[in-house]
Each structure stands twice: as C-alpha cells, then as structure tokens.
Structure 1
Amino acid sequence: MSIPNKNEQQQALAEAIEAIGTVAFARRLAQLVSSYVDSDCCLVLSYQASGAAVYLYDDLTDKRELLFSQYLNGIYAQDPFYRALRHGLSDGVYSLSTLMHQQGVNDPHYMADFYLATGWRQELGIVLALNKQQWLTLFLGRLTTTPFSAVEQQGLRQLLPILSALCRQHWHKGAETLAHSPMLDVAVSPTLARLDAMAPNIRAPMRLRVEHALITFAQSRLTPREQQVAALLVQGQDNVAIAKLLGIGEGTVKNHRKHIYAKLALDSQGALFAHFLNHLITSDSAPSTKRPAPRATSNL
C-alpha cells in the first residue's frame, strides 16, 4: 500500500471542483478517490429507487464486457449494494464482505455466477444519496485478496463530506440518465433516416453502432423473442405495429412487454429507450454477437 501524497490529493480535489458541471466530473471524482486509496479498478454508477442502474464512469481493463452485457442489463438488481440501498443503507464507506454480513444481503448465485467472473476479489463501495430516490455509488476493486485496510476506509470516511458536497453541486437534479463515452464524438441521431442524410464518413460507423446496439441490447437477460420486441419498442413501435411485424397477437406483445420491463427493472417505454441509449453509448462498437439480429425491425 502506497502512502497518500497530500499534493496529489489537493490537485485531484482542485480538478474535481473545476470539472463540476462538465462531462469530466465522474472521472475526476474517481481520480480524487483514487488519490486516497490504491485500487486496480474503479466504477461509478447511479442507482435509482425505480428504473435501471445508470452508468457514469469506469476504468476497467479486465472483463469489462461483463459490465455492459450482464450487470447493466439487469444483474445489478442482485448486487448486495443495490439491495442494501433499497433497504435504507445510509451514506458511508462499506467493504463488500462487511456489507453482506451486516445487512444480510448475500446472494450466493450472484457471487458464484457473476461476481467471481469479474476477477474482483476485494471491493469497497462509497455510497452517497443524491436525493431520496437516487444514489451515487463509487466502487473500488482489487484483483488480489489484499483487503482495504481500516486506515484506508477511515481516510475515505473523512473525505465523505467533501465527496457529498461535490456530487450535490454537480448532480443537483439527480444523475443524468445517459452515460458519456469518449468513443462518440458526434451526437447520436434519433433516427437512422437522419443518419442517411449525414456525411458518408459519419453515417456508416453510426449506423453500424445503432444496428449493433439493437442486436446486443439486453441480450443476456431477454429471450430471442423478447429481444425482438424490445428492439421494436425502442424504435417507437406500438403494440399493434409490433404484433403485425412479428405475426403474433397483440396480447402476446403485451405479455412480452411486461416480461421485458420486469427483467430489466423498468416501468415504461421511455425508461426502456433511455436504457437502450445508455447501452448504445457504452457498448463495444465491434459488431460481433452469437445471436442473430432480430429479423423484424422498423426504420428508425
């Protein structure tokens, strides 16, 4: 464990303050925390009382695809931190092991089926309430079994009031529903038709990104038919149109829709669309998947 450098901490704090109101804030916030405690990886998310988890920042280098293909597509609901927050967890700094022991939120299937696959062996979570309905969570992970010491945890607890003040200034209305990705230099067009009107050097890669995102959206959480319905829903189709396109009854579409919302912890078509945009922005642009694309799609 390295000794924290006061000059680096002060510089990191200054940069976090300067980043308030900009897209760089989540990254600067993570760097501020990292100036106090060494870790192998960092992840910043927002959890909501209703709706999906919101991705804000990560510096993952190993098994990063699990975050987007599984965790953000529904497995987050099994995370002990998310479950503890839903049961009234207060602001603080918690190790994963302590949280599971004190809060009684251990999920053996989550730990065995997902968490071990990430490679994380020690985890520390910083929890901050943005308002009564939304929390900011910053996770520090270690790929070794070296635990976060009591001294490290106490240092972060002393930093907590500053982190809370910074976050409340930046997210005074709650965390945004979309992540920011350095991979996208062009704003996402709302329709593929508009993409066709753009310059050719923009149109092709953007179209590929959208098509790839439709193929992979919630792939690990939904059945092939549910994924087809979800892909059409995010393109603005209603139940009648989806039933006609897929050759199924309107009642069947309603059932699929109900299952999609339940599996993804969403409550409306608008929330589903926001979740899809988050997936679009953060997903790998490489068009590779084991499951074929839904056959029935509409022109966005």
Structure 2
Amino acid sequence: MNLALHNQQQCLDQLGTAVASLGSDAFYPALCQAFTCFAEVSDLLFLYFPDQQRPQCLYSNLANEDQYALQVSSYINGPYIFDPYYQASLKGAANGAYRLKDIAPDNFKKTEFFRHYYKATHVNDEVSYITALPNNQHLHFSISHAQPSKLFSVKTLGVFYSLSHIITELLSKHWLLQDASSRPSNNEQPDKPNLNQALQQALKQFGSTLLTPREHDVLQLVLHGHSNKAAAERMSISLSTVKLHRKRIYQKLDISSQAELFYLFIDALSSAKASDSGDPLQAYMNVS
C-alpha cells in the first residue's frame, strides 16, 4: 500500500472515532486527529461564525500562544471581514471543501490582508470545509499545509475533496446533537455595539460620500483583492474605464497604492464612532 493510501486509511479509521464522538466535547479533537494522519497537514482550526457577529474559535491544535494570537485572536478582531472564506459564506457558498487559491480574488496575494495574515502566519496553502448551520450561522474547518513553501499534493487534495460531503455532514450533525448549553454563546455584550455589524457597515459605506457610485464599486472590489481586469468583468465595463475610476479614486483620497487604501480604511475605522452608520472616511477626513 502506498503512503497516500495508507494515510487515507488511517484518516478513515480516525473518522470512525469522530463519528462515535458526535455531540460530545471529544468530537473536534477526534476530527483533528483524522487529518493529522497526513504529513502535509499542520494547523487545524474550527471557526464558528454567528449571524451578524464576529467569529469564535471552537477548537484548534495550536499549542503555541504566539501562534494562537497571530492566527486566531488577531483574525477575529476585525480582518476576518476580508477573508475569502468568510465572504464565500456570506454569499451562500454550498457546503463543501474549498481551497484558498480557488475562491480568493485574482489579486488576493497583493492585498494587505494576505500580507499581514496569511504571509505572517506562513500559510501558503489552505483548504477549508464550509458548513452552513441554522439561522444564518456557519462553521469553517480550516486545514493548513505544514510547510510554508509547499502546496498540498494532488493526492492529498483528492482525499480532502472526496471527504467533503462526509465532513460537512459530520460538522452539521455534531452541531445539532450538542446540548444547547455546550454550544458557543453570543460573544457580543447586550450593552455594546455589535462589532460585526459595525465593520460590515463601515466597509460597505467606506468612501461613499467622496466618490461617485461607480468609483465606490471599484473601490470595494479593489479592497477585497480583485484586479482591474476582474473588476471590469464583474462590473461589465471596459478595463480602461476601471483604470480611470481607480486613478480618480487615488486622486480623491490622496493615496497612490492599494496598500495605502487598506491603511486608510483602518485609520478611518479608528476615527469612526461605534454608533455611526455612515461613511467612516468622512469622519476621518473631518478630523485629519
């Protein structure tokens, strides 16, 4: 039996343990164990996305506190809104396994989110099982490659994809079988503004008071990592028109790069009040 088949058999054996653990606290560790049979796999995360709230980490195999702070804590405190997996869930992606390179915008690796999150965490290849839960909630089971410079092999990816229906069904079934008291509670305090809603609103409105509607559409696509060509295709306009819009955006905002645009958004967020529902850039410009 070759190594790939041996690893696959080990994985299937461990999945039996996960099935036996459905509804209990042992489920996530057991499911992790099934995937650590593959030498290519390192970091494993289970992220829960409540409706209209920031995510929570349900379980991870990250033993190092610095790793956890970088890969989890920093992620859930804001940057997750730029995550292609999160955006895919918002858009109603079907349950299944998704590879980062296949769902990310074409210019994603040039975004500041990629540079400060994926590059900083040394994650070069990632597969995530996206599972929809009742009431607009989602679970993401993220699997990262053990070596930053390597990609998952075709055989390993084949196993991941072949298990897609099984894994998402297990995640869904476990959620339903858990005792209600064992499920994660809402992470927002009743007397505090909802961070997720504030971030989503700020992103949606960013630049809307200073730009034309078309320029604002281009800005949104650029922030999420789409190239000029991809933006032109999505907006059904010519490439030259997108370039002109982008040039005018940079002129109006007094910036010269996509990196500066990202940091302008971050700076504008820091100036906006949590109760604001308008363009955070307007408040920032008034203070600057």
Residues of 1 paired with 2:90 and 2:108: CA distance? 11
Q: Is the 8 A contact 2:71 2:117 kept in 1?
A: no
Q: Which residue among 94, 97, 111 is the counterpart of 1:93?
A: 97
Residue pairs, 1:22-101, within 5 angstroms: 22-35=24-37, 38-61=40-63, 63-101=67-105
Q: In the TM superposition, what whole-angstrom CA distance separates every residue of 1:85-122 from its partner, at most 9, and x where no partner exists?
A: 111222222221111147x8778121122222112122
- Aligned partner of residue 102 in structure 2, secondary structure: helix
Q: Is the 8 A contact 2:28 2:59 kept in 1?
A: yes
Residues of 1 paired with 2:105 and 2:121: CA distance? 21
Which amino acid counterpart does residue 108 of structure 1 have in structure 2? T
Q: TM-score, normalised by structure 1?
A: 0.54
- Aligned partner of residue 86 in structure 2, secondary structure: helix
Match of 1:166 in 2: 170
Match of 1:3 in 2: 4
Match of 1:177 in 2: 184
- Aligned partner of residue 104 in structure 2, secondary structure: helix
Change (3 A) 1:47 1:259: closer
Which amino acid counterpart does residue 161 of structure 2 have in structure 1? R
1:4 Cα offset (Å): 4.2
- Aligned partner of residue 3 in structure 1, secondary structure: helix
Q: Is the 8 A contact 1:42 1:59 kept in 2?
A: yes
Change (3 A) 1:8 1:177: same
Larger proportion of helix: 2
Match of 1:156 in 2: 160
1:15 Cα offset (Å): 1.0
1:3 Cα offset (Å): 2.3
Residues of 2 paired with 1:84 and 1:32: CA distance? 26
1:113 aligns to 2:93 (yes or no): no
Q: Is the 8 A contact 2:4 2:156 kept in 1?
A: no
Residues of 2 paired with 1:52 and 1:101: CA distance? 22
Name stretches of at least 5 consecutive residues in structure 2 with no aligned partner: 202-288
Which amino acid counterpart does residue 12 of structure 1 have in structure 2? Q
Q: Is the 8 A contact 1:16 1:25 kept in 2?
A: yes
Identity %: 22
1:178 Cα offset (Å): 5.0
Q: In the TM superposition, what whole-angstrom CA distance separates every residue of 1:198-229 from its partner, at most 9, and x where no partner exists?
A: xxxxxxxxxxxxxxxxxxx9xxxxxxxxxxxx
- Aligned partner of residue 118 in structure 1, secondary structure: coil
1:126 aligns to 2:129 (yes or no): yes
Change (3 A) 1:31 1:178: farther
Name stretches of at least 5 consecutive residues in structure 1 with no aligned partner: 180-216, 218-232, 239-256, 267-300
Q: TM-score, normalised by structure 2?
A: 0.56
What RMSD in Å do the two structures reach over aligned CA positions?
3.4
Residues of 1 paired with 2:76 and 2:96: CA distance? 23
Q: Is the 8 A contact 1:40 1:141 kept in 2?
A: yes
Residues of 2 paired with 1:260 and 1:133: CA distance? 17
Q: In the TM superposition, what whole-angstrom CA distance separates every residue of 1:230-270 from its partner, at most 9, and x where no partner exists?
A: xxx95x8x6xxxxxxxxxxxxxxxxxx5485645679xxxx
